[in-house]
Amino acid sequence: MKTRITELLGIQHPIIQGGMHFVGFAELAAAVSNAGGLGIVTGLTQRTPELLAKEIRRCREMTDEPFGVNLTFLPAVTSPDYPGYVRAIVEGGVKVVETAGNNPQQVLPFLHAAGIKVIHKCTSVRHALKAQSIGCDAVSVDGFECGGHPGEDDIPNFILLPRAADELDIPFVASGGMADGRSLVAALALGADGVNMGTRFIATKEAPVHENVKKAIVAASELDTRLVMRPLRNTERVLRNAAADRLLEKERRLGAALTFEDVREEVAGVYPKIMQEGTMDAGVWSCGMVAGLIDDIPTVKELVDRIMAEAEEIIRGRLAGFVG
C-alpha cells in the first residue's frame, strides 16, 4: 500500500509505532520495522544521550529497515540534555524523528541538516498547522481517544482527521483508536496517510514489558480508561487502576487547590515499576480507549500482516461492492 507517508519514510506499510515511555526499546522498534512499518525508540526513556546512542546501535543490529526515535520536549525545572540527544540521533544515522510535547523548532535545523524527516505529534489542527509552518515534514494527529496526553480540546478523530485533511498540505497519520484494518481504512477515508499505534503495540509478543501489562490491556474494555490531571491542564488518559482512583479522589477533594505535588506519588517515576516489574497499581500509566478492541497478544509481524490483509479485503471487497 503506497501513501504519502510510506513514500516519505521509505516503509512498506503506512503503520507507525508511536514512542512510548519504557515500552519503545530496540526490541519493539526493530520488530515493527522488520514487519514493514516504522518502529520508534523512545529517546527520553534512555536517561542519557550515551544510553540512547547505545540503544540506537542495538536497534540497528536487529533491523536493516528504517526506524525512528521519539524526542519529547517537556517543560522541566532541569531540562534533559536535548543537544546531546539530537547528536546521538544524528550520529546514529537515524532518518526519522517523532517529536512531541513543546514546539520542536529549536532542533529542526540540526535534524534537517542531517537529512532526518520530522513527524510532530499534535492534538489539534492549530498545532498541526504550526508544525507545518515551522518545517515539520509530517504530523501525527492525536484524537481524544488516544492514550497519554490528548490535549484539552476533546475532539475525537471522526472530526479531527477530516479537519486536518482540509487544512494541511503535509502528510499526516491518525493516532488514537487505531488497532486493526478497519482503523487503517477509516483513517485513510478521513484523509490521513497512515496510522500511529501505541496501545495496540504494547499487547504484542515483542513488546518488552511485563506480561501483567499486556494482560491488563487484553482484559480492558473501552470503558476502562480515565482522564487524570485535568485540573492541572496536563490531561492524561490512563488505564483505570487503584492509583488512578486515588488520584481522581484527590482531584475531587482538593478542587482548585490541587498542585502537581499532590499527585506526584501516582505519576512520577512509576513506569519502571509498572512496565518492567508488573506492579500494576504502582501508579497511573497511559492507555488508549482502543484497549476495547484488543483481545490477543500476537507477534508484531502477525499483527501488521493481519491489519494489512484486513484493510485490503475491506477496500477491495466490502467497499468496492457498494459502488460496483
Based on the domain organization, do 201 and 251 belong to the same domain? no
Q: Stretch 1-17: mean pLDDT, rounded?
A: 98
Residue 59 lies in a domain: yes
Residue 154 lies in a domain: yes
Per-residue pLDDT band for 244 (boundaries 50, 70, 90) equals very high
**Could you identify the residue written with the cell 489542527?**
125
For the chain, the average pLDDT equals 97
Residue 299 lies in a domain: no
pLDDT single digits (tens) 127-185: 999 999 999 999 999 999 999 999 999 999 999 999 999 999 999 999 999 999 999 99
Based on the domain organization, do 269 and 125 belong to the same domain? no
pLDDT at 16 > cutoff 80 = yes
Q: What is the pLDDT of residue 167?
A: 98
Q: Stretch 83-104: mean pLDDT, rounded?
A: 97
Based on the domain organization, do 164 and 263 belong to the same domain? no
Based on the domain organization, do 279 and 189 belong to the same domain? no
Based on the domain organization, do 183 and 104 belong to the same domain? yes
What are the two backbone dihedrals, phi and then psi, of residue 162, each rounded to the nearest 5 degrees? -65, -30
Q: What is the pLDDT of residue 324?
A: 74
Q: What distance in Å separates the CA atoms of residue 9 and residue 15, rounded to the nearest whole number? A: 11
Q: Stretch 303-320: mean pLDDT, rounded?
A: 97
Q: Which helix (H) or strand (E) holds 228?
A: strand 225-228
Instruction: Evaluate whether 22 touches 282 at the Cβ level (below 8 Å).
Output: no
pLDDT single digits (tens) 52-93: 999 999 999 999 999 999 999 987 778 999 999 999 999 999
Q: Stretch 203-222: mean pLDDT, rounded?
A: 98
Q: Which domain holds residue 234?
A: 221-286
Q: What is the CATH number of the domain that holds 168?
A: 3.20.20.70
Based on the domain organization, do 107 and 242 belong to the same domain? no
Q: Stretch 227-242: mean pLDDT, rounded?
A: 97
Residue 202 lies in a domain: yes
Residue 313 lies in a domain: no
Number of folded domains that form the chain: 2
Residue 309 lies in a domain: no
Q: What distance in Å separates the CA atoms of residue 237 and residue 284, rounded to the nearest whole number? A: 9
Based on the domain organization, do 39 and 172 belong to the same domain? yes
Residue 41 lies in a domain: yes
Based on the domain organization, do 259 and 191 belong to the same domain? no
Based on the domain organization, do 86 and 233 belong to the same domain? no
